[in-house]
Amino acid sequence: MAESGGLKDVLAKAAQDPAFLQVLIINRAATLAAYNLQAHEKTLLLNASAAQIRRMAAEAAKHQPTNLTRKMKMAAYVVTGAAVLALLYFVPSLFTDATPDTRNESRAQTQLQMIVDGQRSFKQKFGRYGTLDELQKQGYANPSNATFDFEVDVAGDSFVARARVKGTRSRGYQMDASGTLRPMR
């Protein structure tokens, strides 16, 4: 049975319960399945880095309403959600020369880190690294980017995750179990 509420409830619970926050970071898809999230809320949490989720939970904790009516609480949740979304998507572009392409590169790098994090969780559970399809089916990673295609090569007890610029063979980034980001060769 799904829990009531959406993004604000998930972040509020994460702010109040460190164990829930850790489970949310490690196994997002399974944790989020218990909530009635809108598609954009689920996508935001699935694609956010662990650090971003911690910051969103900390920000939600600062804005927890106290002794307010139900309608006022809902308004506070909406305002907090809008603030978090604005921070994630609009504020960084005000302080950088980020173009859509560099923002896509940054997102691709973040999604590679999410694949590496997902591989660690997958290996803990299954004793081996998984293919990209297996990671997606188990909810450990769900990379999506307009400019990049993602792939994972598994060989024995190692893997390499790649974000390749669509339509090219060697432009992009790669990351292995060490978590070190490298340009593709």
pLDDT at position 116 is 92
CA distance 73 to 84: 16
For all residues of the chain together, what is the average pLDDT? 82
Record the pTM: 0.46
**Which residue type occupies 67?**
N
- Whole-angstrom Cα distance, residue 30 to residue 10? 13
Lowest mean pLDDT among 29-38, 115-124, 149-158: 29-38
28-32, 96-100, 105-109, 178-182: lowest mean pLDDT where? Answer: 96-100
- The answer to whether residue 160 scores a pLDDT higher than 80 is yes
Domain boundaries, the chain: 7-92, 100-183
Q: Which of 3-7, 114-118, 137-141 bottoms out in mean pLDDT, i.e. has the lowest?
A: 3-7
Nearest partner of 57 among 17, 113, 87, 92, judged by Cα: 17
Please write the tens of the pLDDT for every residue from 67-125: 455 666 767 777 887 777 766 665 555 555 444 466 778 888 888 999 999 999 999 99
Provide the 10 A C-beta neighbour count for residue 33: 13
Class of the domain covering 100-183: alpha beta
For residues 12 and 49, what is the distance between their CA atoms, to the nearest angstrom? 18
Q: 139 — phi, psi (to 5°)?
A: 80, 20
